[in-house]
Amino acid sequence: MTVTAVRDGTGAESCGAGTVDINSQELWNLDNVGIARSERSDWDDVLRVGIQKTDAATPDKWIERSASMTRVTGRHPLNAEADSKILLEAGLVTPRALHYVRNHGPVPNIADSSSEEYKNYHLEPQRFTIDDLRSIASSGTNKNGIPRFPVAFGCDGNRRKEINQRRQTRGSNFGPGAVSCSVWGGVFLRDVLSRASLPDEPESFHVWFEGEEKLHNNSTYGTSFPLCYILDPTNDVMLAFEMNGKEPLPPDHGCALRVIMPGMVGGRQVKWLKRVVISDKPSPSWFHWHDNLRERFLFERERPFFIEVNFTNHPQRHFAPVITHPTHDASIDIKTLPGNRRVEFKGYAYSGGGNKVTSVEVSLDGGMNWSGAKSVYVGGPRHGNKWWGWCHWSFSCELWRLLRCSEVVVRAVDAAGNRQPENVEWNLMGMMNNSLYRVQVVLLEEEGQPPYLKFLHPVLPGTKEGGWLKRSLPETETGRGEGQKRPEKTIPRSELDNHSNEASCWIVIAGVVYDVTAFLQRHPGGAGPILMNAGKDATEEFMAIHADDARRMKEQFAIGTLAEEGRPGHIAGMHVCYRPRQPNLTPDGKTVAINPRRWTTLKLVDRVDVSHDTRKFRFSLPDPSSQRLWLPVGQHIELAAHPDPNDMDKLVIRPYTPVSPVTLGEDKVSGTVELLVKIYPNGAMTQILETRVTNKNDLASKEENKVMIRGPTGHIRYQGKGNFNIDQSYLWANRIAMVAGGTGITPMFQLARAILLDPDDCTRVRLVFSNKFRGDVLLYDELNELAEKSKGKFEVFHTLSHETPKSVKDRSTGTITIQMLKERLFEPHADTIAFVCGPPGLVEKAAKPFLEEIGFDEDHLFAF
């Protein structure tokens, strides 16, 4: 393999580009062109094809396929993609076994000698065998005989699962692997068409392509393209009969003949080509008019508006780069590795219409700054400026840069100046998702293990679970619509065996039994896909490919609920409501006591009067020996109590931040929760706690001394070493400025102590703490002790508004002022964030406006 370097001059860092000369390869061995000899033995299982058990009961049972492909629409028809990691590592030329597959029905069993029919708009049909086409190719306009060159194309639904996570579309859950690049050989279609008379004005005519694929209503897959486009020699429209060498096309890829239309989407690369027609009208095929549409503002096609409006289809391949390495869930140990070690990111990029991807750029700071990546292209340009293949790109950075990074983002620019949208745009068919590709970087630390970075991709294809992009549909866990009840009738699993044929067809979806016999002939995909699941659980396949309207429509066929022993436990990435609930566990095997969706009952076991109006209450978890609070730093709990123990209808709820335990590391043996509570004369919750217990002797005897908690709640979560998750956005800070008043000190104390308890956390903290009187200063001893032991990492400054301090260290008299915050806190900076917490008057009239005036913007100023 020879690589010729070409300078492109893009990005802040050097951005190299090169081309791999496919013509220098042995064309009969292109399936292995990207795999080093020493590695080929490791690829045997990946590239091995054979009859798959999954296909045994389908019309495709005769086809040899790779078991490494991920199926996204169940067993049949086959729609599958390779893992993006494998796809990239296989090389610039995608092996046949790993090329993505998009089938609408059973694969036709066509012999290599089958003929292709060409029909002019006014002449008698002409027929060509594959041998005829080979002969035309050898004597046609290509000087070197049969043309062979790399072409990358993909399904318009590539990365559709990212759209489905927001709201289910009408398409399947393709991930980022529904795109491939192989070397195709065949005959230029213009040379075939020239064998007959062509219209005098080709601009007014269209070329229809019809495949052999038989669909549910005896129709075939078809589309068309303007004749003038096909006759243009620079567009390279080909009838292909070879793939990656001199072997015939595999069945899944169009054997014996398919259309290759470089620069266009997969929907225009018609497989199992049977007929070509020149007509003065576009193809009447349903797929030509209703596929490859981007209906962004419709939710159902059955609406009259959809029927009345002609949407424009998008035949040109869309434009996108993708990150493949590091892979999803990959991790890097950061404590035992040098900070200057480089981490490499890799991926692929492609564009449509023959436009070259001129630059690939990577950002580590949310898009504020971009660096150029190095790119290698498959093959050179055709006709001087047509780039039909894809490129592989790579980018490396020092490990220490990732410690400040919450996500890695990739973007690209092509020769036409195209860029991607920043966010996913939902559309009914889930088409053409080319938004910025984001990989989240999470800093994690588990007990007894060194800290490490984990990389999270948005989704995994098909029904695989994983990814940072979580499903956000407003549906229940079983996939049934809101307000729909499960049928009361219970049906045993043994009864399903009696309804597994066309005469009586029952299926199970998420534990509900449906009699779909009457629907078989009305199913848009034909009866076959349903009958393959007759008498069985069809949840996985149904959830993978059906949109909201289909999920609602199925309810009219519900007849009962499957008996308990027959219900599946985990379906299509959703937690099913009847699955036994498993408690969350801490690393040492203890049960996490809190849950954000249900209350946990605690018992008051101790009370300490800290001052005339402040109490410290200690509560015991239900099972102290086996439970832990396990509250993340920065989060708080909700405390609930009944004002009248005899009236369970009334409940008072207030948020509190515990003062113990304040870190996950401390939460090992106590089994208790301590709250610091300021008692207000008219406070609903504080009066409940104050009046229930007047002395310690009452603690164990009174049943009303029980309260409830749930959590964690809050929008701020500290993940260690300066890393925050705030409102689902990741921030890093080297310095933290804090302003607190009264009991607002509790979350500040929690955060500061968590930082100081970690010897490897270098984050610095400065706190201004405002109170009225010396007796109001909460956690005074604890704060000063933290400051003294911090070696300068933590500084605290007290100010009293109603008393001249005498015994308070680092103090002043008066309310908070702008000058005070300027002198005592860190100045605004990109690596500095500020937190405020306290009474509304302090926060809204002093702390926040003063910090804003100093220069802290909304991205660096937060309130607990």
Neighbouring residues of 603: CB distance < 8 A, sequence distance ≥ 6: 619, 620, 705, 706
**Catalytic residue of the set 437, 656, 718, 780:** 656
Q: What is the greatest pairwise CA distance in the chain? A: 108
Q: Long-range contacts of range 652-656, CB-CB < 8 Å, 24 or more positions apart? A: 652/684, 652/685, 652/688, 653/685, 654/684, 654/685, 655/713, 655/714, 656/746
- Taking alpha carbons only, the member of 209, 192, 460, 181 closest to residue 327 is 460
**Catalytic residue of the set 561, 600, 657, 672:** 657
CB 576 within 8 A of CB 477: yes
Q: Long-range contacts of range 488-492, CB-CB < 8 Å, 24 or more positions apart? A: 488/561, 489/559, 489/560, 489/561, 490/560, 490/561, 490/562, 490/563, 491/559, 491/560, 491/561, 491/562, 491/563, 492/563, 492/566
Residue with tokens 């318009």: 156
* DSSP letter (8 states) at residue 423: S
Cis peptide upstream of residue 752 (ω within 30 degrees of 0): no
CB 634 within 8 A of CB 717: yes
> Is 656 in the active site?
yes
Residue with tokens 């490499």: 344
CB 506 within 8 A of CB 560: no
Per-residue CA distances from 150 to 29, 89, 159, 386 (Å): 14, 17, 22, 12
Neighbours of 852 (CB within 10 A): 14
Buried b (16+ CB within 10 A) or exposed e, 698-723: ebeeeeebbbbbbbbebebbbbbbbb
Q: How far apart are CA 349 and CA 414, in angstroms?
A: 10
**Looking at 563-651, which runs of residues are DSSP E strands?**
570-571, 574-575, 591-592, 600-611, 614-620, 627-628, 636-641
**Catalytic residue of the set 15, 253, 837, 860:** 837
**Catalytic residue of the set 636, 663, 743, 746:** 636
Neighbouring residues of 482: CB distance < 8 A, sequence distance ≥ 6: 474, 475, 476
CB 489 within 8 A of CB 500: no
> Is 762 in the active site?
no
Q: How far apart are CA 383 and CA 149, in angstroms?
A: 12
Both tokens of residue 852? 């804003």
- Taking alpha carbons only, the member of 345, 437, 320 closest to residue 396 is 345
Both tokens of residue 251? 């069945």
CB 230 within 8 A of CB 202: no
> Is 121 in the active site?
no
Q: How far apart are CA 720 and CA 401, in angstroms?
A: 16
Residue with tokens 């014996």: 256
Neighbouring residues of 661: CB distance < 8 A, sequence distance ≥ 6: 629, 631, 667, 670, 673
> Is 657 in the active site?
yes
Per-residue CA distances from 682 to 197, 687, 690 (Å): 95, 7, 11
Active site residues: 636, 656-657, 837
